[in-house]
Amino acid sequence: MTARTTGTGQPILSMRELVIAFDTPDGVVEAVNGISLDLYPGEVLGIVGESGSGKSQSWMATLGLLADNASTQGEVTFDGHNLLDLDSRTLNTIRGQRISMVFQDPMTSLNPYLDIGTQMIEALGTHDRSLNRADARRRCVEMLDRVAIPDADRRMRQYPHELSGGMRQRVMIAIALLNDPDVLIADEPTTALDVTIQAEILDILTELQRERGMAVVFITHDLGVVAELCSRVCVMYAGELVEVGPVQEVFEDARHPYTLSLMRATPRTTNTGSSAADDRAPDAAKRAALYAIPGAPPNMRLRPPGCAFEPRCRCAEPRCRTEAPALEALSDQPHRHKACFRTGSSEDLSRELLDVG
């Protein structure tokens, strides 16, 4: 079953039954277990879930960035191509130009031995060979200005270690946006930064997203950030999508026990430094005391036969142990999806799952 937005139109990128497995000395790790999802032009899609749930790998697969021990099945369609089958030359025409990615740690993406200007011009030049050097330089300076880097001309001549962490992340965003991509994948882009810098960078990203109308996939642990920035949210658990829908509806009326648990396990004060994010934090998180999800995520080598969340779920039924629920539309709200046999309201689930009213 494919998750959809409430909106209409053609998706810009579609995942179908994406499976990612890693071959390790201890056996095969099934990191992503058959996810299907459409990304629409101009939407901001949040991806949340505990550490190890497959958030990063599922999007790294779209850019051919998986480790050598990975194998994939399924399809990721973009512009008529299945990105999983593409040769590296064709993939290079898409990577950085049509789909860009920003990672948590800019030091791993920036080359420490090259100045910022050289790296930016290279990123631009790879895709636009018609540009002469002066024009390319001007475009890079403009882009640095755009991400609020003061004194951009001088920064172009500096090396990554001469910049603060926040500056480096701005440079990464500038590089990612130089070629005006249709899709930006931002993987925990502010997690390593302090609170005020986080808020500034998120503001810049939001502004650029609106200005350019690109689709943004925002991978984060921070539900407050999702509430503030995203229009739709995908909740992942153990390599699967367990709940997908418009952010406000999912946060106010979660229908999967894991979504509810995750919200209850999130402190009310988010670290965006923004009170707006607090005000829009999930209702359940506002009301309840902090909840610790019992147990731990499953070992991906020994995936249980039924629902992967069953061992931690207080409202599991006997069949949850043997049958895996598919991601399906809610009967009362067909634009929302969940993978759980349970029906009933968020309140019912909440009472049962968390022992609170």
Ligand X SMILES: Nc1ncnc2c1ncn2[C@@H]1O[C@H](COP(=O)(O)OP(=O)(O)OP(=O)(O)O)[C@@H](O)[C@H]1O
Q: Do residues 55 and 221 touch, judged by C-beta distance below 8 A? A: no
Candidate residues 8, 10, 25, 67; the one interacting with ligand X per rule CB under 6 A: 67
Candidate residues 5, 53, 62, 198; the one interacting with ligand X per rule CB under 6 A: 53
Residue 106 in the binding site for ligand X (CB under 6 A): no
Residue 71 in the binding site for ligand X (CB under 6 A): no
User: What is 25-94 written as a DSSP string?
Assistant: TTEEEEEEEEEEEEE-TT-EEEEE-STTSSHHHHHHGGGT---TTEEEEEEEEETTEEGGG--HHHHHHH
- Give the helix/strand (H/E) hosting 347: helix 346-354
**Can you tell me the distance from the alpha carbon of 4 to that of 301, in angstroms, rounded to the nearest whole number?**
30
The tally of CA atoms less than 13 A away on the side-chain side of residue 108 is 7
Distance of CA 300 to the CA centre of its chain: 20
Candidate residues 4, 55, 255, 256; the one interacting with ligand X per rule CB under 6 A: 55
Candidate residues 56, 58, 119, 274; the one interacting with Mg ion per rule CB under 5 A: 56
Token digits for 101?
Answer: 């990615």
Name the segment binding Mg ion (CB under 5 A); options: 54-62, 67-75, 259-267, 287-295: 54-62
Query: Which one, 56 or 198, has the nearer CB to Mg ion?
Result: 56
C-alpha dist (Å) from residue 284 to 11, 198, 263: 31, 25, 7
Nearest to 296 by CA among 237, 236, 240, 235: 237
**Can you tell me the distance from the alpha carbon of 246 to that of 300, in angstroms, rounded to the nearest whole number?**
29
Candidate residues 24, 71, 93, 269; the one interacting with ligand X per rule CB under 6 A: 24
Q: Please identify the residue of the shown chain whose CB is closest to the bound Mg ion.
A: 56
Query: Which one, 50 or 75, has the nearer CB to Mg ion?
Result: 50
**Can you tell me the distance from the alpha carbon of 234 to that of 213, in angstroms, rounded to the nearest whole number?**
20
Query: Which one, 53 or 346, has the nearer CB to ligand X?
Result: 53
Query: Which one, 101 or 324, has the nearer CB to Mg ion?
Result: 101
Query: Which one, 120 or 263, has the nearer CB to ligand X?
Result: 263
Nearest to 218 by CA among 15, 7, 59, 349: 59
**Can you tell me the distance from the alpha carbon of 40 to that of 29, in angstroms, rounded to the nearest whole number?**
30
Beta carbons within 10 angstroms of residue 286's beta carbon: 12
Binders of ligand X in range 293-332 (CB under 6 A): 300
Residue 22 in the binding site for ligand X (CB under 6 A): yes
Q: Tell me how far, at minimum, the Cβ of 29 lies from ligand X, in Å.
A: 4
Q: Tell me how far, at minimum, the Cβ of 145 lies from ligand X, in Å.
A: 31
Name the segment binding Mg ion (CB under 5 A); options: 35-43, 48-56, 245-253, 304-312: 48-56
Q: What does 198 bind: Mg ion, ligand X, none (CB cut-off 5 to 8 Å by kind)?
A: none
Query: Which one, 173 or 185, has the nearer CB to ligand X?
Result: 185
Q: Tell me how far, at minimum, the Cβ of 65 lies from ligand X, in Å.
A: 11
Q: What does 29 bind: ligand X, Mg ion, none (CB cut-off 5 to 8 Å by kind)?
A: ligand X
Residue 62 in the binding site for ligand X (CB under 6 A): no
Q: Tell me how far, at minimum, the Cβ of 268 lies from ligand X, in Å.
A: 21
**Can you tell me the distance from the alpha carbon of 260 to that of 237, in angstroms, rounded to the nearest whole number?**
12
Q: Tell me how far, at minimum, the Cβ of 36 lies from ligand X, in Å.
A: 17
Contacts with Mg ion by CB under 5 A lie at: 56
Contacts with ligand X by CB under 6 A lie at: 22, 24, 29, 31, 49, 51-57, 67, 69, 300
